[in-house]
Amino acid sequence: MKGYKFSILDRVIVFFFLLCLIPSGLLSQMTARGLGMGGAYTALARGVHAPIWNPANLGLPDNPKFSMTFFSIETGVWNNSLNKGMYDKYFVNGTKDQDGNIVWEQQDVEDILNHIPDDGLGLNAEVFVRTLCFSAGRFALSFGANVGSFVQLDKTLFELPLAGNELNKKYTLNNMDGEALGIGTISFSLGEPVKVSFADVFAVGGTFHLFYGGGYAKVDSADFSFTTASYGFDIDGSYKATRALGGLGWGVDMGAAAQIGEKLILSFELANVLGSIPWSNEIKSEVGYIRGDSLTVLNADENNNDEDVVDDSSWTVEGEKFSTKLPAAVRLGCLYREGAVVLTADYYQSFKNGAWSSSKPRFAVGTEWQKIPWLPLRAGVVLGGRIGFGTSFGFGIRPGKFVLDLGIMNRGFIFPKNSKGLIIALDMGVGF
């Protein structure tokens, strides 16, 4: 059997597909309790969870004397365009022909394309794992593994096969992007109370991270065009992607928290104030192009070989050492207690788009009902950031000192048919 020869376009498609399979979540991680409250957890996080949200919370008076996480895992996949209801409508329960094949009408095609934003289809997935982390008084030590990616596919990539093309028109696929990153972390956190006149309790804190760069991949450029004419069509495209393995890096977070009265707590964190991850091993840049003029079905020979009319090539370039500066971010949170009900709100702002971050601000509100101490119930709503719009719920099982928390966030309204993806988190540990 004749082997299949990969063209440069095939390589580009495979590269983006592989990026889609890489999970993400670096520095956007949420604990299960926080996820169940929509991510509005900055002012409520205590003990072993405080370093993820704000290390200054370790210095507050209600911080536990000792807490430990046996394991904590968060994972999820979502997109910015298509929900489960649309998938069922057009791929499962759609109109079928006499042979049982699903048939799309023009209105169906327009509906699908209208749900894809002008800047393209965005794909995200994430995994965040911590194990055997603990806090003792105002100190915390955390071990974790984080990986991160995002993929953006140009809307034209879907318009051409679904809606067809027009004559004498140039189609561009320039809105293509992707980045993937994986690291291991060891974090040391400390929070200390400070006497001030403007709050009943005030604390400051910081976290020092040691990072190990596991792997990095980024689409540096991807430009393609497709021009149709009465004589055929022209294609022109190029891409460059970089990949590397890393070494040891570091980072610093700083925060402050204030308790005003018995019911209100304000919390503020500056994440990634300093630090970066060096990439110094196996640095490669994959470069390629594809070109073809006046292509028609008649260009191909009797063996359907288009090598004479399409010019494509790819090559690998040795790269130089570089570093990735972690995206600085601001996190603001507030908490208000009223009896057995806790109300929270968060604002999160990163200053860079990347594998784990979005420059779009994120707002979240959440609540926890503590009437049954061993079975707290949670719910929340998030808007903006990498997630967009999401709704969440969760609960805890906390008999004695044992802690088991589960949180689920739906990318969209809480009903399954409106879901554009799910994020699930589970924590197990103890607290004293």
Predicted confidence (pLDDT) per residue in 298-354, tens digit = 554 444 554 556 777 888 888 888 888 888 899 999 999 999 999 999 999 988 776
- From 323, 313, 295, 63, select the one nearest 190 (Cα to Cα): 63
Question: Between the CA of residue 350 and those of 27, 41, 326, 359, 361, what are the distances in Å?
Answer: 10, 17, 10, 5, 7
230, 168 contact by CB (below 8 A): yes
How far is residue 299's CA from residue 38's CA, in Å, rounded to a whole number?
Answer: 56
Instruction: Work out the average pLDDT over 207-235.
Output: 85
Whole-model pTM: value is 0.82
Among 132-141, 244-253, 319-328, 390-399, whose mean pLDDT is lowest? 319-328
CA 188 vs. chain centroid, Å, equals 24
Q: How far apart are CA 265 and CA 258, in angstroms?
A: 6
3-state secondary structure of 248: strand
Asked if 126 and 25 touch (Cβ cutoff 8 Å), the reply is: yes
Q: What percent of the chain has pLDDT over 70?
A: 88
Domains of the chain plus CATH, in order, are 8-81+116-431 (2.40.160)
At 81 the three-state DSSP class reads: coil
Q: What is the pLDDT of residues 352-370, one digit of tens each?
A: 776 566 788 999 999 999 9
